[in-house]
Amino acid sequence: MALIETVGLKKIYNLGGSVIAALDGITTNIEKGEFVAIMGPSGSGKSTFMNLIGCLDKPTAGRCFLEGMDIGCLNRDELAVIRNKKIGFVFQSFNLLPRTSAIENVELPMLYSGLSPLDRKLRARKALKMMGLEGREEHLPNQLSGGQQQRVAIARALVNDAPLIMADEPTGNLDTKASEEIMELFVKLNEESHITVILVTHEHDIAAFSKRIIRFLDGKIVSDEKRSRP
Amino acid sequence: MINLAATVKISLRALKINKMRSALTMLGIVIGVTAVIIMVAIGSGARERVSRQISSAGSNLLVVVPGSMTAGGIRMGFGTQANLTTKDAEAILKECPAVWDVSPEVHGAAQVVFGNQNWSTAITATTPSYLNVRDWLLDDGRNFSDQDIRNTTKVCIVGQTIVENLFAGQDPIDQIIRIKKVPFVVIGVLEAKGQDLMGQDQDDMILIPITTGRKKVFGSLRPDMVRSIIVKTVSTQELPQAETQIQELLRQRHHIGPKEEEDFTVRNLTQMLQMAEKSTRIMTMLLGAIASISLLVGGIGIMNIMLVSVTERTREIGIRMAVGAKVRDIRLQFITEALILSMIGGAIGIIMGIAGAKLIALLTDWSAMVSLPATAAAFGFSGLVGIFFGFYPAYKASLLNPIEALRYE
Ligand SMILES: Nc1ncnc2c1ncn2[C@@H]1O[C@H](COP(=O)(O)OP(=O)(O)OP(=O)(O)O)[C@@H](O)[C@H]1O
Ligand SMILES: [Mg+2]
C-alpha cells in the first residue's frame, strides 16, 4: 500500500469571476521511504498540492489517501490528529512561535498529543540534540540564525515520530551552506530512520538530494522521474 | 488531550506580552466587581438599619396626629392644631375592637440638669402603656403607675444616652434631675435602642407621666390635649381595620360631617417601615443591577481585546493547528486567557470592593455591609463574564482554516 495516493486531485479557486485551477487533476503515488522533490515554475500548484496531502486544506474534487485512508472523509479534529501523529511540516518561513524558546517550540506537537511535561522535555531535548542544537534549548527564535531556526522546525516535525516530512521550500530563506546542512539532515533522516520526505524546491542543487523528481506545470504533472542519488 | 498547566502558562505569556493592554482590560472587570460589592454593601447596610428600626419602633403601630393630609399634600403641619385629647385616646381603646393598647403623648425638648452636668434632650410625656405599645423594655427600675398619672408625680424614666451624658457611670435610679428646673426622681432606665428611621438617637430621651408633663414642663398647653396617640393592634392583619375604626370614631367625636375633611391623620407606622424596608431592598437590587452593568461592560472589553488578540495571533493559531491542535484545544486556549483576565480582575475587585465598603462606612455615617453571597456572586459572575465573552473570540479562532491562518500576514 502506498503511503500517499491521489486520484484526480483538483483545487479550483474562484476569485470574483475568474476561475483558477491551482491543481488540475493530480493522480500519483508516493511510497514509504521515498525522497521526493517537487519542482515547477511559480504558480504551478506545488504548494497547493503539499497543503492538500498535508491535510491542511480540502480539495475541490478528487481523492487523497494516506496509508489507505481517504482523508476527504475526515473531520477537522481527525485531520488534526493526522497532522499531529503522521506529518511533520517544515516551512520556508520556519513558522516558529515567536517569544517562545526553542525547546517549547519543539514541545508544541506533544502538547496536543497529551504527553506528560517530563516526557515532552526529554523528547524535545533529544530531537534538538539530533539537529545539533544542544545548548540552544532556551534560545528564542530571534536569537537563532535562519539555519538554526529551520533545524528547530525540523526537530518539531520529527518529535512525534511522524513517518512523513513535508517541506515547502525549506531552504528558500537560507544561504547555500545552511541549505546543504539542512538537506544533509533530510537525507540522514530518510536513510537512517526511513522517514518519507517530500520537498518543494526551485533549485536543482536541492532537488539533486532527492531520489525522485515530480515536475508541475499549470496544476498538472508534466514529468515524474526516479533517479539515484549521486 | 491537552495539558491544563501548559495552557495556563501559554495564556499568561500571551497576556504578559501586552501588559498594559491586559491591565486595562482587567481594570474593566475590577471596576465592575468593586462596584457590585460596594453597591450591594451600601444597600444591605441600609436594609439592615431599617429592619433594626422596625424592631425598635415597636410593631403593629398606628399613630394618630392632629391636622389633616389632603390629596394636595400637607395642609397644616402635623400637630399644630390642638384637637386630640386624652379622652380621644381612651375612647379609641374602649371602642375600637381592633385596638389592643393606646398611648397618648406630648413631647418637646428641654434642658436637663444633674449636679453640675446639663444636657438638652427630648421629653415625652405619656402613660404607663407607652412601653408596651413601643415594645420597649426597661434595663433597670420600674415603669410609671396609674397612680403616678393621677397624682402628677414628678418621676421619670431615662434613656441610655442620658445615663452616659448626665450620670457618667453613676447609678441613675433614685437620683434627682431637673427638667426645666423642676426636680424629677429617676425611677427607671430604658434599654438601648439605637437610631430611628430619620437617624435620630432613640436613647436620647426622657419619659415622664403625661399629667406631670402638661402641668410642670409644657406649661402653655390646653389641659387634656395630646400631641399624638400611638395605637397598637394585636397583629399586623388588624392594622387596616383599626385604621378605619379610629377614623370613624374620631370623625364622630370631633363632629366632622361626611363631606368635611378630617382634622386628624392616622399614620400606619408599621406599614411605613415595611415600605421603607421594601424600598431599601429594591434599592439594593437596583444598585447591584447598575453595578452589574459595569461588570458587563468590562466583559465586552474582554471580548474586544480577545478578538484583537485572535486576529493578531492568527499565524500562531495556524502553526498550532498545523502541528495538531484540535478545535477544542484552540478554544480552551482563548477561553483560558479570557478567564484569567476576568478572574484576576475579579479577585482584585473583591479586595478593592471590601476595602471600599469599609472606607465608606468609616468616612460616612452609612452602614456598609459586605455580604459574602454578593461577593461570591460577583466573583462567579466575573468568571462567567470571562467565559461568555471569551467564547465568541475562541470560537472564531477555532474555526480558522489552517492554511489561511498560516498564510495570514
Ligand atoms: N488562497 C488562494 N486564493 C486564490 N488563488 C490561490 C490561492 N492559493 C493559491 N492560489 C493560486 O493557485 C495557483 C497555485 O499556487 P501555488 O501556491 O500552489 O503555487 P506554487 O507552485 O507553490 O508557486 P511558488 O513556487 O511561487 O510557491 C496560483 O496561481 C495561485 O495564484
Ligand atoms: Mg509555493
Give me the CATH number covering residue A126. Answer: 3.40.50.300
pLDDT over threshold 60, residue B1? no
Q: Do residues B302 and B389 touch, judged by C-beta distance below 8 A?
A: yes
Stretch among A2-16, A154-168, B167-181 having the lowest mean pLDDT: B167-181
Residues of A in contact with B2 (CB under 8 A): 111-112, 114
Using a CB–CB cutoff of 8 Å, tell me whether B329 touches chain A: yes
Give a yes or no: residue A50 inside a domain.
yes
In this predicted structure, what is the pLDDT of residue B220? Answer: 60
Residues of A in contact with B316 (CB under 8 A): 97-98
In this predicted structure, what is the pLDDT of residue B240? Answer: 86
Cell for A60?
A: 475541490
Give a yes or no: residue A6 inside a domain.
no
Please give the number of the atom of ligand 1 that sits closest to the Cα of B403: 1
Q: Do residues B210 and B105 touch, judged by C-beta distance below 8 A?
A: yes
Pocket of ligand 1 (CB under 6 A): A 13, 15, 20, 22, 40, 42-48
Give a yes or no: residue A115 inside a domain.
yes
Instruction: Band the pLDDT of B77: cuts 50, 70, 90.
Output: very low
Q: For the residues B259-280, what does the mean pLDDT come to?
A: 80
pLDDT over threshold 70, residue B283? yes
Give a yes or no: residue A4 inside a domain.
no
Please give the number of the atom of ligand 1 that sits closest to the Cα of A49: 18
**B281 vs B194, more confident:** B281
Instruction: Band the pLDDT of B81: cuts 50, 70, 90.
Output: low
Mean pLDDT of chain A: 94
In this predicted structure, what is the pLDDT of residue B2? Answer: 55
Q: Do residues B346 and B295 touch, judged by C-beta distance below 8 A?
A: no
Instruction: Band the pLDDT of B82: cuts 50, 70, 90.
Output: low
Using a CB–CB cutoff of 8 Å, tell me whether A56 touches chain B: yes
Give A21-56 pLDDT, tens digit per residue. Answer: 999 999 999 999 999 999 999 999 999 999 999 999
Give a yes or no: residue A39 inside a domain.
yes
Give B55-70 pLDDT, tens digit per residue. Answer: 666 778 888 888 765 4
In this predicted structure, what is the pLDDT of residue B59? Answer: 74
pLDDT over threshold 50, residue A152? yes
d(CA B191, CA B189): 7
Using a CB–CB cutoff of 8 Å, tell me whether A48 touches chain B: no
Helix/strand/coil (H/E/C) assignment for every residue in A70-132: EHHHCCHHHHHHHHHHCEEEEECCCCCCCCCCHHHHHHHHHHCCCCCHHHHHHHHHHHHHHCC
In this predicted structure, what is the pLDDT of residue B260? Answer: 79
Q: For the residues A104-123, what does the mean pLDDT come to?
A: 94
pLDDT over threshold 60, residue A161? yes
**B197 vs A187, more confident:** A187
Tell me whether residues A160 and B316 touch, CB distance under 8 A.
no
- Which distant-in-sequence residues (6+ apart) come within 8 Å of B302 by Cβ? B25, B28, B29, B338, B341, B342, B385, B386, B389, B390
Q: For the residues A175-193, what does the mean pLDDT come to?
A: 94
pLDDT over threshold 50, residue B76? no
Give percent of chain B with pLDDT exceeding 90: 40
In this predicted structure, what is the pLDDT of residue B50? Answer: 78
How far is ligand 1, taken at its centre, from the CA of residue B339, in Å? 39
Please give the number of the atom of ligand 1 that sits closest to the Cα of A219: 14
Give a yes or no: residue A103 inside a domain.
yes
Q: Do residues B195 and B155 touch, judged by C-beta distance below 8 A?
A: no
Using a CB–CB cutoff of 8 Å, tell me whether B312 touches chain A: no
In this predicted structure, what is the pLDDT of residue A105? Answer: 96
Give B90-134 pLDDT, tens digit per residue. Answer: 999 999 998 999 999 988 888 899 988 888 999 999 999 999 888
Q: For the residues A116-124, what does the mean pLDDT come to?
A: 94
Q: For the residues B205-220, what does the mean pLDDT come to?
A: 86
In this predicted structure, what is the pLDDT of residue B269? Answer: 74
Give a yes or no: residue A2 inside a domain.
no
The answer to whether the predicted template modeling score (pTM) of the entire model surpasses 0.95 is: no
Cα distance from A227 to chain B (closest Cα, Å)? 31
d(CA B39, CA B227): 40
How far is ligand 2, taken at its centre, from the CA of residue A172, in Å? 10
Give a yes or no: residue A120 inside a domain.
yes
Q: Domain limits at A117?
A: 32-58+76-226
Cell for B358?
A: 469599609
